[in-house]
Structures are given as structure tokens and as C-alpha cells.
Chains A and B, each alone.
Chain A
């Protein structure tokens, strides 16, 4: 078995290397290799899943959970590659792109399947390199955001190393499954947070989230959909749940404080990121803030330490990966046709890109938690856990509930904004005629929107898989949702039939421009979706907050940069270049040694 796994992993690396060596101008070979590799990994993971061949050794950890994650890693890779087929058709760096995507795929799967902590940290660290390289292929304007991401993600990996060394020291073992640490001392708390820090930086949770909005402006949509939207969420939350469920032991009296901090991080992330999202004018940046905000739900859910919260958090991780990559792909379609990402300059293209519009709408409804789409059910489970916690009238949990609810409402509001500004409203002027994108760019969004629906109506199956794989079961059950779902399903079908009949009748309707009291319609009469939300920025409390955010005072990266530069400048000022000063330092050093080592 071990040999099979190792050879499977080597195939990914070798195929990636082959892609790198093929010149960019030669078409189709790289695409075929990439597609083959992802399909190969998909079948490999599915075959493991089907045969239930679980395999836990000192090196590999192949259980239902890791297999399930690896299946989705492969699916997302495949969809991204299908999407890239048209998107990167004439891309000058396509050989590098395919190579790094395949390496990312391989490293992710190995990281998920590894039981050995060192192996895990190696492949986890290599993911930072592939992220960095992928971000850099899109041109020199992405060099700074790529640098920032590398420092945050790669730097947090250093904390992971610290945490892993600590785990090895505490247990004397190297395997994830052998860890069960009871947090009692300061060192253990340090190790706990070092590991958490690594997982949250990868997933993009506050306060380590700033790399995601930063990269969103100049990075091509497939890369955004692949890394920060789907894979990094799967991996980050995978590690997060392994830390909370496998590596550390929870005892309510002693550890509620630590878990409280996690819940706080989750809630703040939900609220602040969505507040940032709502005022964005750049479509991709808006989506990227939502990518941050949704992590808050997962962190909040898993750190409730209640069955429905944990399952809900994990399910939300999966759902988020689905609809967020769907949304990024949709944004990519719009950008591909209009070459515009600013919401003010977009409008009215829904009619020309109906499939993109429809799928984007499904994605928006899913992320906003509207039933019967998948986002609703995962959020529902998380809310269940929060209500269960608040049952005793505990004030703390009420705050979490309020944060989560406001977060959901604002998510819906900001998606109304984006859907309205991009797809509805008056048609703006574009350089080229707008039409629907290629099939290869539509197929991924169609598949993903179908997944949104399937995981909505059929939420029981993924939930059961999560329950079985981590061995935690929701006590109360969720079967009462099924009649409601059936009702929704039936009424939707009924509604669709009525709508179709109605559409047949109004086919001959004529289309005229809006009637504005006989006046000529002018530019300034138009209200883009962005205008409406500007009022939020002007509210007294929020105004300060947004000003602070613009100055990047909430950006941990910038804060540390300031401190280090301040410190560095101080030391530099002492380096005057004057020889006698330097000689004095040597003398000073010797005197210190003298005092230390002489016995008086």
C-alpha cells in the first residue's frame, strides 16, 4: 500500500515537471496532462473511498475524512483546469501555471494524507512555495501581493514548525493520531496557538487574512478560485479540525477560555470581513472579503465543540469551497468578456450572459444562506450549536448568535449589491459586444451550481460522511428538515411550471427603455448598486473603522512591519561607519565576556 501511495504522489510531481518543460506555445499537451493528473487523483481518492481501504501507519493517515477532503481537492483541481483551458488559452506562462497547479494538487493531497508530523509540515510548507509561484506568474504588479502572502502564509508555517516540535517534545511521538495533549502549561498553550495560527493563516481567518484581499485585484480568477477560495479553505480548516479534534483534549472547566478565544476570532472575522466586503467597489476584492468572512463561520462552528457545530463547520468548509469557487469563476467570466472589475462600470449584462448570471445567482443565494441551497444547511447546523450553547442564557453565546446573524444578513445585502450592479440595471457601454463565454468556462460553473443544489437537498449525505469520518454524531438529528425540504422542492417545481407558462404568454412583449416622466434618461439619473451602500461608510462609528482599515491599522502584517522598521532604524543609526566606534563595540563585548567568565 505504501508503495502505491508513494508512486501515486510521485506521478503528480513528475507530470508537473513535464508541464514545466513543455514550452508555452505548444498547446493542448499541458492541458491534457493536467486533466489526466487531476482525474487520476480523483479516481484514486474515490477508489480508496469506495473500498473503504483505511490505512493508518506511522507515515500515512488515510481515513474517511482525509479521503473525502482529497476527493474534493481533486474535483476543484479538475474544474479549475477545465476553466483554465479557455481562460489561459494564449497565456505566455501557461507551462508554469500547469506545473504549479499540479504540484499544488500533489502537495495538498500528500499533506492531507500524512500522519507523520514532519512529512505534513514539509508538504504544507511546499504549498506556500506553489502559492507564491502561482501568484507571481500573473505579472509584476502582483509581486508585492505575492510577497505579502508568502510572508503571512510561509511565516505562519514557521509557527507550525514550532508547534510540531512542541508536540514531538511533549509526546515523544511523530504521528498525528498519537497526539492527545491535555493543555495545562504555558508551553502547551503556546504550541496550541502556534498550530492554530498556521491553520488560520492558510484558511485566511482574521487577523491573518490580509493577503487574500491584497492578491484579489491582480490575480487571475482561476487562481483565486483554486487557492484562497477552495483549496486553502479545505486545507486550513482540515488542519484546524485535526488540531481541535485529534491533537488536543478539551475539558470544559479548564479550556473554555481558549476555545472562547477561537469563537471570538470566528465571530470577529464574520462581522468585520463582511463589513469590509460591503463597501468594496472591486468585484473580485468584494468576493475575497467574503472568502475571509465565511471562514469565521467554520471557526465559530468547530470551536463550539458541540457535535452539530463541528459537523456544521466542516460542512460549511466544503460548501464554501463550492460556492466561493463558483462565484470567482463567475466573476472571471464577467471579467473575461468586459475586461472590467469595478462595480460602477458594470451593469446589465445578465441578459447577455444568462448562464453565468443564473449560476452566479445560485452561488450568491448559497453564500447568503438562503434555503434550499447548501449554505443554508451548514449555517443551520452552526446556529443549532450556538443555540444549544445559549440554552442556559449564557450571554457569551448570544453575542455569537448575533454576530453570525448580522453576518448572514450583510452577506445577503452585499450579494444583492453585486448581482444588481453586474447583471441587472442598465446596460453600460463596453468595448466589445457582450456574449456568453466558452463552454469550457461554463461547465465548471454549471457543475458547481448543481453541487450547490445537490448539497442543499441532499445535505444528509455529506453530513453523514462527516459524522462517520470524525466519529461525532449530531444527537438531535435533522430529519425534521426533510418534510420542509420536500415542500420547498415541490413548490419550486410548481413555481417553475407556472413561470414557464407565463413566459410562453409574454414572449411577444416589447422592450422599451424606462419611462422617467417623459424626460430623457441621463447618466446622473442612474444609481449603481454601489451608491446605496455608501451610507454605511458615513455612519459615525463605521466611519472611524473604515478610515482605520484604509490606513491598514488592523493589518497585522503592516503593524509588525512598522515595529520592525522602527527597531531596525534604531539599530542602523548606531552603525555610523566610524572605525573607533566599532572598535569600542569589540572592547565592550570583550568586557562583557570578561565580567562573565572571570572569577572575582
Chain B
């Protein structure tokens, strides 16, 4: 059995250890950072198909703090630590060339990872809030890491909006605590089941959900994302789009809705409609962009819409589709941001009009961009196809064929947007393309290429995870969400 606190202790420990030891020796932050994320990846893979409730200090809930590992947290742990390992690997050369102060970078990075690990493992609301804040504050700093005016502005906006969200959450937690006298999620759920629901609880619900919707960047709570994600260094953008919005946003919303407040028709409708709006608005905005990273950021809004539609449908198939899309999105979106990082690393630009004919000079970056673009557009046999297929199937099966049609339209628009990216950057050339610059281009260094290849292959083959459908590898995850609130209460508190 894995010691769950390790997921928090290791990154936090190393985060403070790096600045202490590595002021003189240059290679220490790289080695320590990568080693940590690699160990965390291994640990997270070991949690597969395990369920465990860890009582810190041996104190039983509701009085002690608990860490809960179940199918959903396991899925998120794997996503967080896989992508963070890829991002740190990519960072070795990328940060070296473009930024200074690697030790601060790795410290903040590991704080963010530790915060997210804590968020997805935490079994009580207040710890969840604290971990979320740690991860958020680290990410505010990382967004502004380049210290240029636009980056600081983006970071400031992110900080303000993020803090508004955090305050909503804190207020919501406080209200729930005042009402129930407990902070343990399972215990709060138990008490809420016993007392008649009133507007105070509903208000707390609105505040919590609103706050976390800001974190997950659903329209109309999305405005911070298109500024924040492109401004960060590429590996951080990959983390933000690939992981942070899911661990701090989607995951918590799922946990609260399915395991605390209980799922109902109204919630389902709200999630679906907000999902559809995000899906379409995000992609329409993306179509107009010529800044590659900004375009990708808008697609994150759109793809999160798919995840919410899937989860909002609420049937096992819908949840499977939503969660699988969440997993797939983390792979292809982080790959796309890393690709944009490699392109920026070599060409020095994010403007699609200045790029061109990269397939001749940067073959691996080009092929991974192609793979990721086909994945996000839902073209078979890549993973995005399978999750979209399941979401559409689930929507039709639950009698929501109009929603399915919107998903189809969103998918076509996504394809349009990514064929545009491929047209300007890889196969064709933009209007401001310069031949002299292009001739000097070459493929990025090996440590940056490796994560691109790994993620591309994952995009190609993770479609196979769907074998078995709702009874397959995702069964335990679906079980967490599909099962009633009671099931979670029993698991954490013991029946």
C-alpha cells in the first residue's frame, strides 16, 4: 500500500530543498526536478486500481485529516504526474535558453505539482482549499515567470480572478462548516443528507461551484485563461492547460457534485448547457487567432466544454466519455503546448503568419503537432476520436441528440482550426514567412524531442484504453461518480 502523503511531501520537500542546495551547482535543479517528477509518476502508476483512506496521525474522521485514494483521484494523479514529468523533461533545455533562475522555476513547479496532488487526494474541504491555493499561487508566479510586461499583466489578471474564485470557495466552505460543523467531505455529505436542505446550503453550493468553474475556465468564467496560458513558459502552459484546470477545476466540481451535494437533473442541465456554450464559444474564438499559444488556450476552453457535457449527461457512458476526454485532453493539449514551445524555441515566434514549411526542418515537432492536432480534432484512430465518440453516443442514448449535434459541430470547427495551424506552420507558409530565417532552422535538442515522441505515441495508442467500455480500465473511476453519495460516505467514514 502506498503511503499517500508521499505525493505531497516529496514535491514540497524537494521544492524547498532545491534552492538550498543548488545555488552553486548548475545541474542539480534539472536532476532533482526530473527525478522527483519521475518518482511521482511511478508512485502514481502504482496507485492504479487501488482504494485507500489514509488517516493522518491515526486520527479517525471526522476529527482527523484524511487523504482519500479512489478511482477518480487515481486518474487525476496519473495525469498530473505524467504531464509534469514530460514538462520537466522538456524544461531542461527550454528554460535554459529562454529564462534565468532555474531553481526558482523548479521550486514553483514542484509546489504546483504538490498542491495539485494534495487537492485530488484531500478528503476534507479546508485542506482541499489550502492545497488549491498553494497550486494556484505557484501558477500565478509561473505565468509571470518571464517578467515581461504582457506576462506580468496576464499574471495579474489571473491572480485577481483566481483570488476571487478562491474567496468564493473559502466563503462556501465557511458556510458549509457553519451549517454542518464539519469539514470532512464525507461527513458533511452525511450531515446534509440528514438535515432538510435549505437556501444556505444552496448558496454554499453556488459559491463553491462558481469558484471552481472559474478555475476550470468554463464560459463565462473563462476570461483569465486566454491571457494566462499563452504568457507562461511552454511547459507551464502545458501544465496549466493539460492539468491545472482539471485538477483544480473539473475534479473538484465532480467530487463536490457527485460525492457531496448529490447529482440531480438541474445540475445535469446546467453542466451540459455551460459545456455546450464553452465548446462553441471557445472554438469560435480560437478560429480567429493567429497567435499559436492563444489559439491553443481557447481550445482548452472548448475541450473542457466536452468534458462537462460528458459528465453532465451523468450516465455511466457519459461519465466515461467525459473522464476519458479529460485524460486525452491532458495528453494532446500538453503535447500541443510543448510543440508550440519547440517552435517558439527555434523560430522565436508564436505568430502563425511568420511560420512555414516546418516539416522539412523540424520533422519530429511537425509529426507530433500533426498527431496532436488530429487527436484534438477527433480523427480516428487517435484518442480524441474515442472520447468524442463516446460523448456523442452517450448524448444520443440519453435522448439529447441536439447536444450531440453541437458536439459534432464543435468537432468540425476544431478540425478547421487545427488544419489552419498545420497549413500555416507545417505544410504551407504564412504571409510573413522569411526564407533566410527558415533555412537556419533545425530540430530541437533531444531532451525536448523525447517528451514530444512519448506524448505522440500516447495520443496514438491510448485510444485502446477504451476497450471494455464502462467495464474496462475506467470502471473504478466511473464507480466513484456514478455511485451515490452514500457509497462515498461509507468508504471514507466506514459503514
Do A and B associate with each other? Answer: yes
Q: Which residues of A contact B (CB under 8 A)?
A: 118, 121-123, 125-126, 128-129, 132, 136, 140-144, 146-147, 150-151, 154-155, 157-159, 161-162, 165-166, 168-169, 187, 190, 194, 564-565, 567-569, 571-572, 575, 577, 579, 581-583, 585-586, 588-590, 593-594, 596-599
Beyond the given pairs A146-B427, A166-B401, 12 more chain A to chain B contacts, judged by CB atoms under 8 angstroms and listed by A's residue number, are A122-B380, A126-B381, A132-B419, A147-B419, A161-B378, A168-B393, A564-B413, A564-B416, A571-B284, A582-B224, A585-B223, A597-B266
Q: Which residues of B contact A187 (CB under 8 A)?
A: 401
Q: In whole angstroms, how far apart are the Cα atoms of A147 and B206 in the complex?
A: 43
Across the interface, do A161 and B392 meet the contact criterion of CB distance under 8 Å? yes
Query: Size range of the interface on B?
Result: 35 or more
* Complex: A154 Cα to B411 Cα, angstroms: 10
Known contacts A154-B415, A586-B210, A597-B202; A569 and B396 CB within 8 A of each other? no
- Establish whether residues B415 and A155, one from each chain, have CB atoms under 8 Å apart when the complex forms: yes
**Distance (whole angstroms) from the CB of A39 to the closest CB of chain B:** 27
Question: In the complex, are the beta carbons of B221 and A585 less than 8 A apart?
Answer: yes
B131 lies within 8 A of chain A by Cβ: no
Q: Smallest distance from the beta carbon of B54 to chain A beta carbons, Å?
A: 33
CA distance in complex: A493, B404 (Å): 62
**B423 → chain A, closest Cβ, in Å?**
4
On whether the beta carbons of A162 and B408 are closer than 8 Å, the reply is yes
- Is A155 touching B401 in the complex (CB atoms < 8 A)? no
B325 at the interface (CB under 8 A from A): no
Tell whether, in the assembled complex, residue B160 and residue A150 are in contact, meaning their CB atoms are under 8 Å apart.
Answer: no
From known contacts A157-B379, A583-B164, A590-B206, infer whether A565 and B287 are also in contact, taking CB-CB under 8 Å: yes
A567 touches B284 (CB 8 A): yes
Residue of A nearest to B156 (CB): A579
The interface residues of chain B lying within 8 Å CB-to-CB of A564 are 284, 287, 413, 416
Does B179 reach chain A (CB closer than 8 Å)?
no
| Contact across chains for A598 and B206 when beta carbons are under 8 A apart | yes
A150 B419 Cβ-Cβ under 8 A:
yes
Q: B303-332 interface mask toward A, CB cutoff 8 Å, 1 = contact, 0 = none?
A: 000000000000000000000000000000
CA distance A568 to B285 in the complex (A): 5
- Give the docked Cα–Cα distance between A434 and B457 (Å): 50
Alpha-carbon distance between A43 and B122 when the two chains are bound, in angstroms: 62
Chain B's closest residue to A141 (CB) is B428
B394, chain A: closest CB distance, angstroms:
9
Whether B210 contacts A579 by the Cβ 8 Å rule is: no
Residues of B within 8 A of A128 (CB): 379
8 pairs of A and B residues whose beta carbons are closest in the complex:
A143-B428, A582-B223, A125-B380, A155-B412, A568-B284, A122-B380, A590-B210, A147-B419
Which chain A residues border B381 with CB–CB below 8 Å? 122, 125-126
Whether the pair B427, A150 counts as a contact (CB closer than 8 A) is no
Complex: A121 Cα to B381 Cα, angstroms: 10
Q: Given A147-B420, A568-B287, are A154 and B226 also a contact pair (CB < 8 Å)? A: no
For the A-B complex, the count of residue pairs with Cβ-Cβ distances under 8 Å equals 161
Shortest B219–chain A CB gap in Å is: 8
Residues of A within 8 A of B392 (CB): 161-162, 165
B interface residues with partner A (beta carbon < 8 Å): 156-157, 160-161, 164-165, 168, 199, 202-203, 205-207, 209-210, 213-214, 220-221, 223-224, 226-227, 266, 270, 281, 284-285, 287-288, 356-357, 374, 377-381, 385, 388-389, 392-393, 396-397, 401, 404-405, 408, 411-413, 415-416, 419-420, 422-424, 427-429
- Alpha-carbon gap, A262 to B388, bound state (A): 29
How long is the Cα–Cα vector from A567 to B202 in the complex, in angstroms? 35
A147 touching B220, Cβ below 8 Å: no
**Complex CA–CA separation, A480 to B160 (angstroms):** 85
Q: Considering only CB atoms, which chain B residue lies closest to A133 in the complex?
A: B370
Chain B residues whose C-beta falls within 8 Å of the C-beta of A168 in the assembled complex: 393
Chain A residue nearest in CB terms to B412: A155
**What residues of B have a CB within 8 angstroms of the CB of A582 in the complex?**
157, 161, 223-224
Is A572 touching B401 in the complex (CB atoms < 8 A)? no
Q: Roughly how many angstroms separate A187 CA and B402 CA in the complex, as a whole number?
A: 9
With both chains docked as a complex, state the minimum distance between the C-beta of A143 and any C-beta of chain B, in angstroms.
Answer: 3
A317 to chain B, nearest CB (A): 25
Pairwise interchain contact B285-A169, C-beta atoms closer than 8 A: no
Contacts of A141 in B (CB 8 A): 428
Q: For A140, list chain B residues within 8 Å (CB).
A: 356-357, 427-429
Residue of A nearest to B429 (CB): A140
Residues from chain B with a CB closer than 8 A to the CB of A150 are: 415, 419
Residue numbers in B under 8 Å from A166 (CB-CB): 396, 401
CB <8 Å contact, A597 and B206 = yes
Question: Which residues does chain B contribute within 8 Å of A118, judged by CB atoms?
Answer: 389
In the complex with contacts A154-B415, A155-B412, A593-B206, A162-B405 CB distance below 8 A = yes
12 contacts between A and B (CB under 8 A): A125-B381, A126-B380, A136-B427, A140-B357, A146-B423, A155-B412, A158-B408, A159-B408, A577-B227, A579-B157, A582-B157, A586-B220
Bound complex: CA A567 to CA B280 (Å): 10
Question: Judging by beta carbons under 8 Å apart, are B287 and A154 in contact?
Answer: no
Known contacts A140-B357, A161-B389, A165-B392; is-contact A586 B214 (Cβ 8 Å):
yes
Are A165 and B404 in contact (CB-based, < 8 A)?
Answer: yes
Specify which of A129, A144, A165, A567 is in contact with B396 (CB 8 Å cutoff): A165
Q: Which of B168, B199, B379, B381 has the most CB of A within 10 A?
A: B379
Task: Report yes or no: B285 in contact with A575, Cβ–Cβ below 8 A.
Answer: yes
Which residue of chain B has the shortest Cβ distance to A154 in the bound complex? B415
Closest beta carbon of chain B to A406's beta carbon, Å: 34
Q: Which residue of chain B lies nearest to A190 when distances are taken between CB atoms in the complex? A: B401
Report Cα–Cα, A150/B411, bound state, in Å. Answer: 13
Q: In whole angstroms, what is the CA distance A476 to B264 when docked?
A: 63
Q: A156 — nearest CB in chain B belongs to which residue?
A: B412
B423 touches A144 (CB 8 A): yes
Among A122, A568, A577, max chain B CB count under 10 A is at: A568
A147 to B418, CA, bound (A): 9
Please give, as numbers and ranges, the residues of chain B lying within 8 Å of A142 by CB-CB distance.
Answer: 427
Chain A residues in 8 Å Cβ range of B423: 143-144, 146-147
B405's nearest neighbour on chain A, judged by CB, is A162
Instruction: Report whether A571 and B401 are in contact in the complex, using a CB–CB cutoff of 8 Å.
Output: no
Residues of A contacting B401 with CB < 8 Å?
166, 187, 190
Q: B266 near A596 (CB under 8 angstroms)?
A: yes
CB proximity of B344 to chain A, nearest CB, Å: 21
Question: Of B156, B220, B224, which one neighbours A588 at CB under 8 angstroms?
Answer: B220
B220 and A154 within 8 A (CB): no
Determine the residue in chain A with the shortest Cβ distance to B160. Answer: A579
User: Whole-angstrom distance between the alpha carbons of A582 and B385 in the complex?
Assistant: 33
Indicate whether A169 sits within 8 Å of B396 (C-beta atoms), given known contacts A143-B428, A155-B412, A575-B226. Answer: yes
Contact of A161 with B396 in the complex, beta carbons under 8 Å? no
Distance from A302 Cβ to chain B, minimum over Cβ atoms (Å): 25
Q: A126-B381, A169-B393, A169-B396 are contacts. A158–B412 as well, Cβ < 8 Å? A: yes
B396 CB contacts on chain A under 8 angstroms: 162, 165-166, 169
CA distance A158 to B376 in the complex (A): 13
Report A599 CB to chain B, min CB distance, Å.
6
Asked if residues A125 and B379 are in contact (CB atoms below 8 Å), the reply is yes
Interfacial chain A residues near B416, Cβ < 8 Å: 151, 155, 564
Contact in complex: B164, A586 (CB < 8 Å)? yes
Q: Is the CB of A586 within 8 A of B221?
A: yes
Least distance between B284 CB and chain A CB atoms (Å): 4
**Chain A residues near B377 (CB-CB < 8 A):** 154
